[in-house]
Structure 1
């Protein structure tokens, strides 16, 4: 009015607004940093198994759509009860298998002493369970002792006081998925993990790759084996220097490879070697394949590569086994024992060079056809499983 102009809604108190509610509390919505949230999600997913990502994303979509199934959180007492029940199931399964085995091998007769021993053990076990409800499941020390068939001498004092012998086969059958795999199996390609029966883990002193080669060849497990591998690789380079010069890109690269393989005598007693003298897939793979006349296969969770001998065809009188080297933790080599299926081991596609194509290479390509087919079959199956 004082400005001699028209009225606007802002000139009136809020109480004159139709939607005014003095009891309402209006709070500003908290701003969400999408970039930061996506970054956190990416970091979390990077620690998951790639084969589980599809299922995880499906669960996220279900949560967003409100179609997921919520699992109630159990109270500590309920969790303890579940653990105790699980321990009882394991003990019952072991006892059932043991009884079956004894029924087939022994007459159904027991001495009075045996009955007393078992009764005492049952009473001791019941008392122990009442005192330690949260420790119903066997610990690692108990598992190792049971697997070896040893009595619980520390607590009972003798084999008789421990009761009947544990069936090792039944126990190992129950625990097999947990004790078979090495910690490094999960860093192998998914479709090859089921074929890895064991993994040799050398010391991480910079010579781990050469120690793995020495182990695969059956050389001396001491340092003599790895120095022998380095020396034999140097002999191969010296005899075929022109070939490797073409493959590696010139004399300068060859000298760099030679310096990496050679270790001075005064440095051989050192506890470690520098990174420039470590085994390198691209620099040393072809040399190893030609030196030992067999396929050399480098495995990792990211990629798989095969190097084939280029100078000599497969020997007709023998079947040279491929050498597998698994790269783990970004800076360490281990030697997996990859089992064969019907006499065939999986072989990834080889690195081939037009400069080195020869009759020997063609013979090796024909030699590994079944291994290539087995590898590709497993890869296709694993890829299909991930998409589901």
Structure 2
């Protein structure tokens, strides 16, 4: 399944796990990589729900709004026991990626490109997070170049 990811990301992938493809597979991968066993996917969903709930406003600023966070939270809720998850319950990256990284203290491979983060330039972030712009800007620029991202900005303060 690694071929489903853009080939430019392959050098930054450290480990691959083969899990049951049942709609819970993203959560199964996390459980397996944490050493919990892939059948612990409900624990991962629950942990991520709590993470998003505890830091609701902060994730709202990070992922583009409270409505996005609420949608992510709803995607984490599944009835048990459930052998398969429908498409609206599948893991979506990069939206949930930040919660995964924060909840499980994920350490990135040295030089790994990072997708753009809204909070970096925000005046509504924690003071500690303001330093991230200098620490991670080169990685975000690398991501933008690798993924051929282009953005246009308009200065609203111009007359």
Same-fold call, TM cutoff 0.5: yes
SS in 2 for 1:281: coil
Aligned to 1:276: 88
Aligned to 1:199: 16
Task: Provide closer, same or farther for how the CA distance between residues 239 and 191 of structure 1 changes in structure 2, counting only shifts above 3 A.
Answer: closer
Structure number, greater radius of gyration: 1
Q: Give the one of 27, 37, 42 matched to 1:227.
A: 42
RMSD over aligned CA atoms reads 3.3
Aligned to 1:93: none
| Structure with greater proportional strand content | 1
SS in 2 for 1:283: coil
SS in 1 for 2:16: strand
Aligned to 1:348: 113
Give the Cα–Cα distance (whole angstroms) in 2 for the partners of residues 193 and 284 of structure 1: 20
Aligned to 1:291: 103
Tell me if structure 1 keeps the 8 A contact 2:28–2:41.
yes
**Does residue 5 of structure 2 align to residue 240 of structure 1?**
no
Tell me if structure 2 keeps the 8 A contact 1:347–1:368.
no
TM-score (norm 2): 0.66
List structure 1 segments (4+ residues) > 6 angstroms apart after TM superposition: none
Q: How many residues align?
A: 138
Tell me if structure 1 keeps the 8 A contact 2:49–2:73.
yes
Give the unaligned 5+ runs of structure 1: 1-183, 295-320, 323-343, 380-388
Give the Cα–Cα distance (whole angstroms) in 1 for the partners of residues 13 and 57 of structure 2: 38
Q: Deviations over 1:38-62 (max 9, x none)?
A: xxxxxxxxxxxxxxxxxxxxxxxxx
Instruction: Indicate the structure whose relative CO is greater, using CA pairs within 8 Å and at least 6 residues apart.
Output: 2
Give the Cα–Cα distance (whole angstroms) in 1 for the partners of residues 55 and 14 of structure 2: 37
TM-score (norm 1): 0.30
Q: Give the one of 70, 90, 95 matched to 1:255.
A: 70
Give the Cα–Cα distance (whole angstroms) in 2 for the partners of residues 191 and 218 of structure 1: 28
